[in-house]
Structure 1
Amino acid sequence: MISTWLAILIAVLTLIIGLVGGFFLARNSMKSYLAKNPPISEEMMKSMMMSMGQKPSQKKLNQMMAQMKQQSANSQKK
């Protein structure tokens, strides 16, 4: 009787530990993926600015990309 409850307890504990570990592993891998491959590229930003009626210069694109990288770095520090 006790060995059955002990086996169930161990199974539940390993399931919980696996779920928590998997969550943090997936979260960490997703953060590193997004840091390496940002969701918005220069081409996307350029087309977005053109659709809003602005003529994007390379300087302005570089400024906006640097600003986005700085924001993502600040949000990762928190």
Structure 2
Amino acid sequence: MDTWIWIVIVIVALIAGVALGFFIARQYMMKYLKDNPPINEDMLRIMMMQMGQKPSQKKINQMMQQMNKASTKPPTKK
């Protein structure tokens, strides 16, 4: 076989692998987020009540802001 045919086969296989990997990763993340939803105010309120604290809306808003700030901050190098 000619060399150019092998090059075309490799390029097609690479493109198919990238596309397949993208869709598999997307499905995995959608399933993961469905099974483990990100924390929201109701979950935070329940956790605080389980720890014996009386959650006020102000305290919940502060904790949500801190969590959002911590999740958007870039990781620090050690």
Instruction: Tell me the residue number matched to 2:9.
Output: 11
User: Counterpart of 1:39 in 2: which secondary structure?
Assistant: coil
Higher relative contact order (CA 8 A, sep 6+): 2
> Alpha carbon RMSD of aligned pairs, Å?
2.9
Tell me which amino acid in the other structure corresponds to 1:10. V
In the alignment, structure 1 residue 69 sits paired with structure 2 residue 68: yes
Task: Report the number of matched residues.
Answer: 64
Structure 2: state its 5+ residue gaps.
none
Q: Deviations over 1:37-56 (max 9, x none)?
A: x7011000000110111111
**Seq. identity, %:** 53
Structure 1: state its 5+ residue gaps.
none
Separation (CA, whole Å) in 2 of partners of 1:7 and 1:20: 20
Tell me which amino acid in the other structure corresponds to 1:60. K
Separation (CA, whole Å) in 1 of partners of 2:17 and 2:67: 32
Question: Cα–Cα, structure 1 residues 67 and 18, in superposed 2: closer, same or farther, change >3 Å?
Answer: farther
Q: Which runs of 4+ in 1 moved over 6 A?
A: none
Which is richer in helix? 1
TM-score with structure 2 setting the length: 0.59
Shift of 1:71: 1.0
